[in-house]
Amino acid sequence: MKSHYSDAPAAEPLARHTLAVIVDNEPGVLARIAGLFSGRGYNIESLTVSETEHEKHLSRITIVTTGTAHVIEQIKAQLGRLVPVHSVNDLTVQGEAVERELALLKVVGKGEQRVEAMRLAQAFGARTLDATLTSFVFELTGGSDEIERFIKMMTACGLVEVSRTGIAAMSRGAEGM
């Protein structure tokens, strides 16, 4: 006897999407957007927010999330219905977007650990923002994968603290949002 479960459609694949959302810069907007995600059980992997047009009081929110094509379409539609939202752009659908993140890393060590931390920072193109006899604070800007590799490498050199900005992204080409 054949099982009906084998006739079930294959599960939709999950995909990572970067959304750029233009909103009014006013109190409570970010809370409403975060509430939309949490209320429906969607995860936010990265979130950055900043005012981009001071005179128009507009902010840009960049959200990285993962879901099926259906879930991503739901998220975009629900975001678009919020009153302070002016536009929702799926940078992933528009093509390869330029994505960057900034990280600060504090590394504590002496002797060979210290030398290795400096060597790795130089290899990754990280800037030294602070240096004492026992510690460094490095700054690295790049793709999330590069930052993850740098963090992993610095763990062996005495990494004690990490601060990351989240992803800032923009579509390639001449067209704006």
Q: How is the chain split into domains, by residue range?
A: 4-90, 98-170
Residues in CB range of 77: below 8 A, 6 or more apart: none
The answer to whether domain 4-90 and domain 98-170 are alike in fold is yes
Nearest 5°: the CA angle 77, 83, 87 is 55
What residues contact residue 166 under an 8 Å CB cut-off, 6+ apart?
A: 46, 47, 48, 62, 64, 101
Reply yes or no on domain 4-90 having CATH 3.30.70.260.
yes
Distance of CA 129 to the CA centre of its chain: 23
Q: What pLDDT is recorded for position 9?
A: 54
Q: In this predicted model, which residue has the larger pLDDT, 152 or 10? A: 152
Residue 158: CB atoms within 10 A of its CB come to 18
CATH architecture of 98-170: 2-Layer Sandwich (3.30)
Share of the chain above pLDDT 90, in %: 87
- The pLDDT tens digits for 45-100 are 999 999 999 999 999 999 999 999 999 999 999 999 998 999 999 999 988 899 99
With a CB cutoff of 8 Å and minimum separation 6, the contacts of 115 are none
Q: What is the pLDDT of residues 145-160, one digit of tens each?
A: 999 999 999 999 999 9
